[in-house]
Structure 1
């Protein structure tokens, strides 16, 4: 099976059909569960607002005093004013309401606007190549750090909005999640090359439109989202503050077979090779009972990481659900909190972001041949 799949992918790569094959075989865009509505626009739709806060009763962060949000907002606005000369015209990116569509399989029979009293929820469409648009949602807690979230396969932003709100609530951190091409409200074709382009567009928006500093950005990749996340973090021209990988893999073909030693040039997401050039702090977590991607992938990634903060193999957890598992969720949020605080300390008064965060490690030189991405991404 291994040789059959690698042989087919190799043949399609030589014929220029690699991306089409990966699109057909790997990616599974679901039926859209949300839509974006332009704010302050008169139309025939009347949506109710629904407070969409975490139902999780664990209080890792004391949020009883909601005035903190207003204080953070005031400080955030002051910071934006200071950095205003670096920010482009936000009018190019209108704000949208995030509408959760009704689910016929549950009791939710009405569409509603996602809102929260712990963060400001705003959606955007970002411009891509060939007049394509990419959907994003910004959960603004007016915090110093922001998580740039890359979602898993077979889901869209509407399916992960609860998870994102939990991240905001329990880490006291803003979250920006983008959606892959061909998923949900995002235009285009889903393949690995386009997904990598997606995360670069999201990163650029955070820096040049929302005014974040590179060290304030924490990249979080879940499952297939580990691919674009590690690719971005390994690029010295796109410095970040830290990297979180949950249920990630060493490379696409290694999910099929663990016997691959050297990464073929046509492999999908060569994480095991690229992660060695990430020098910002890296936190890797994986479920011990993951039947989709073995925890051996996490161990391989950790072994190749030069600045490993922690490798956490959580027991009694599979490929997903660590944030909702009764035995692990409290530890999950506590570990995230500690990692964020660690990043804040590490990146205080960094004189040279490119050297500090994501420059290629001088102790190592690339050991693999030129990969497909090196000529196809930009």
Structure 2
């Protein structure tokens, strides 16, 4: 009987490992929850342009460009793995208040963008958005802030390795997908099973721009230790802001602190690079 139970346990373990291996994409990306746009910047009183951004491999990304008069620069926004650009309206209001134009877009497979999401695809999407902002909109690289939340932080950090933005902001971001998987499935050899990297902490080691890291000690999805590790890996000049609240509510709890701290950081370093 013990032998039979051991065999059954081994089969169940192997089946779970196989499921994790083959279903990784659906565990990382939630595009179906982010297909429908629930509102537009216009619903919040913001003027905006609806834009289509071509990628180098033939996809078309949908996004919004929100201008402000006499803008001090521009924010290129990378959202997390669920929802779409219409779920980030509070951020758009914040950047508008700070006096920065914003380009926010949906990755392939999200919102009204074509295609299906993948790690390599999100990197191509990042490059396409950067080209649009620097070429079509004519924003100098040194006046661009890359802002990434959660998974979007990994994409933003990857882009910051090859481009020269004025600053990089990471909000509630993980160190890597394998690190996150090890937290969720400590009983599985997830580092061997993982087909995704998004190694934010490694990207940061070669970033040369100022870095702002924000993370909540109460984050219920990405451990606070990830945020601290990213801050330690980031080059100087850098700043850490400890948030309050859960993974998706830290911005709400800390709105005024966010606006003040981030505004000062961006203004200081973008003006210094001018």
Q: What is the distance in 2 between the residues matched to 1:333 and 1:297?
A: 23
Is 2:89 the partner of 1:161?
Answer: yes
Aligned equivalents of 1:279 and 1:113: distance in 2?
Answer: 33
User: What residue number does 2:47 align with?
Assistant: 120
Q: Which residue of 2 aligns with 1:146?
A: 74
C-alpha change, 1:289 and 1:239, in structure 2 (3 Å) is same
- The 3 A distance-change label for structure 1 pair 213 and 254 is same
C-alpha offsets along residues 139-171 of structure 1, whole Å, 9 cap, x if unaligned?
A: 1014021110001121111222343123212x1
1:338 corresponds in structure 2 to 264
Q: Tell me the C-alpha RMSD between the 2 structures.
A: 2.8
Q: SS at the partner of 2:104?
A: strand
Query: What pairs up with 1:271-310 in 2 under 5 angstroms?
Result: 271-310=200-239
Encode CA deviations 1:74-126: one digit per residue, 9 max, x unaligned.
xxxxxxxxxxxxxxxxxxxxxxxxxx56xxxxxxxxxx882666x53111111
- Between the aligned partners of 2:56 and 2:270, the Cα distance in structure 1 is 34
Gaps of 5+ in 2: 1-12
Query: Which of 160, 183, 202 in structure 2 is aligned with 1:233?
Result: 160
Aligned equivalents of 2:150, 2:131: Cα separation in 1: 23
**SS at structure 2 position matched to 1:149:** strand
| Partner Cα separation in structure 2 for residue 308 and residue 22 of structure 1 | 36
1:239 deviation in Å? 1.1
Deviation at 1:208, TM superposition (A): 0.8
**Matching residue of 2:240:** 311
The 5 Å alignment of 1:318-337 reads 318-325=246-253, 328-337=254-263
TM-score, normalising length from structure 1? 0.61
* Aligned-partner Cα distance in 1 for 2:76–2:14: 36
User: For residues 113 and 287 of structure 1, what CA distance do their matches in structure 2 show?
Assistant: 27
CA distance, structure 2, for counterparts of residue 9 and residue 275 of structure 1: 31
Larger radius of gyration: 1
Distance 2:19 2:238 in 1: 35
TM-aligned CA distance change 1:242 to 1:182, over 3 Å = same
SS in structure 1 at match of 2:80: coil
Where do 1:344-363 residues align within 5 Å? 344-348=270-274
Count how many residue pairs are aligned between Structure 1 and Structure 2.
Answer: 254
Give distance in 2, aligned partners of 1:207 and 1:4.
48
Residue 138 of structure 2 aligns with which residue? 211
Question: Does the aligned pair in 1 maintain the 2:148–2:170 contact within 8 Å?
Answer: yes
Whether the 8 Å contact between 2:215 and 2:241 is mirrored in structure 1 is yes
Q: Distance in 2 between matches of 1:125 and 1:345?
A: 30
Q: Does 1:183 align with 2:107?
A: no
Decide whether the 8 Å contact of 1:139 with 1:165 is kept in 2: no
Give unpaired runs (5+ residues) of structure 1: 13-19, 35-99, 102-111, 349-378
Higher helix share: 2
Q: With structure 2 as the length reference, what TM-score do the two structures score?
A: 0.83
Give a deviation string over 1:152-192, Cα, whole Å, max 9, x none.
121111222343123212x1211111111101100011122
Q: Which deviations, in whole Å up to 9, do the C-alpha atoms of 1:184-214 show, x marking residues without a partner?
A: 1000111221111111100001111100000
